[in-house]
Structure 1
C-alpha cells in the first residue's frame, strides 16, 4: 500500500498533548488499540512507527516443533579426525 496522509490537530490531553488517529489511517498503518509504537521527534517532525513484537521465550518454545527442528545439525559420518 502506498502513502496515506491526512491533516490533524494537536490537542491538550491531561498534562500532555495528543493527536487522534483516524480509523482510515490506523488501517493503512496496520495498527489497532494496544499496538506498540516508537515515537521519534526531531525539529519540526514527529515519526510514529509500529514496533514488531518480539516473541517471549514461552511463545517461542510453544512454537518449537521437534519433528522439524530437532536432530543432527550435520547428519553424516565423520570425514576426518573428529573427536568422537
Structure 2
C-alpha cells in the first residue's frame, strides 16, 4: 500500500482526481477498469473491480497444486448410506 498526495481539479461541470502512472500501476488499473466509489463525509474511497475472469482463473489453475479431493475425510451423513 502506498499513500500519495493529489489534488481535486475542475473538469467540465464536475471535479476530477488524476491518477499518476505509478499510482495506476500499483493499483493494477488501466484505462477502462471498472471501479467502485464509496463516498462518506470527508472521505472518498475508490476500489478497483479487478476480480479475475473465469478464463484468468482457469489459466492459473495448476492440477498439481489444486488437484485432488476437496475433502480428505470419509463419507458422512447421507453420502455414507448412498453407497
State the TM-score, normalized to the length of structure 2: 0.60
Partner of 1:10: 8
Task: Give the Cα separation in 2 of the matches to 1:10 and 1:30.
Answer: 22
State the TM-score, normalized to the length of structure 1: 0.59
Task: Give the Cα separation in 1 of the matches to 2:52 and 2:40.
Answer: 26
Larger Rg: 1
- Across the aligned residues of Structure 1 and Structure 2, the Cα RMSD in angstroms comes to 2.1
Task: Give the Cα separation in 1 of the matches to 2:47 and 2:29.
Answer: 10
Corresponding residue SS for 2:15 = strand
Q: How many matched pairs?
A: 58
| Structure 1 stretches of at least 4 aligned residues deviating more than 4 Å after TM superposition | none
Gaps of 5+ in 1: 64-77, 80-84
Q: Larger % of helix: which? A: 2
Task: Give the Cα separation in 2 of the matches to 1:53 and 1:14.
Answer: 31
